[in-house]
Amino acid sequence: MKLHLETERLLLRELQPEDREGLFLLDSNPKVHEFLGNQPIHTREEADAIIALVRKQYAEYGIGRWAVIDKQTEEFIGWAGLKYEQKLRNFAYYDLGYRLREEYWGKGIATEAASTALKYGFSVLKLDEISAAASQANKASIAILEKIGLTFRETFVYENEVCNWYTISNIDQGDK
């Protein structure tokens, strides 16, 4: 999978081993993991393992999370995109997700990246449906999902946390 997408402010591309430091800065921040089970990473080797896992997903499923790069500074600021998920729920689906370094929160970047991932999933991958989950306590993530057109379907419990389940189908996209 070779990917290079651009938005107004962002470059979206495959995660690479050289993203190690940026990924470490992202995933070692406890605030970033507040609604993700509170398990930040502690070593750069853990960042390497995450990158290897995502790259394995590219090879196995043709999709995985993308590095989000600030076009102006060329800095790694997080990840976003789709992945083929089989573990969170009792069925397989394409999951939309995003995670940004704290200093980039509240700037519309996650919305910009997630919207681009949706378009890619429907127009390039020709997916019928894309899903996402967010902790009920994560109001910012819920707002992003609803803003880009996903529809709340139900709640479920994952690791003792109540989560909201969202979906969007290709037909929901219309002429967007």
- Find the domain containing 167 and state its range: 4-173
CA distance 19 to 160: 32
Using one digit for the tens of pLDDT, what is the confidence trace for 116-172? 999 999 999 999 999 999 999 999 999 999 999 999 999 998 878 899 999 999 876
Counting the structural domains of the chain, the total is: 1
Query: What is residue 104's three-state secondary structure?
Result: helix
Q: How far is CA 7 from CA 1, 115, 116, 127, in A?
A: 19, 10, 8, 21
Using one digit for the tens of pLDDT, what is the confidence trace for 65-86? 999 999 999 999 999 999 999 8
Q: pTM for this structure?
A: 0.90
Match 């946390």 to its residue by tokens. Answer: 161
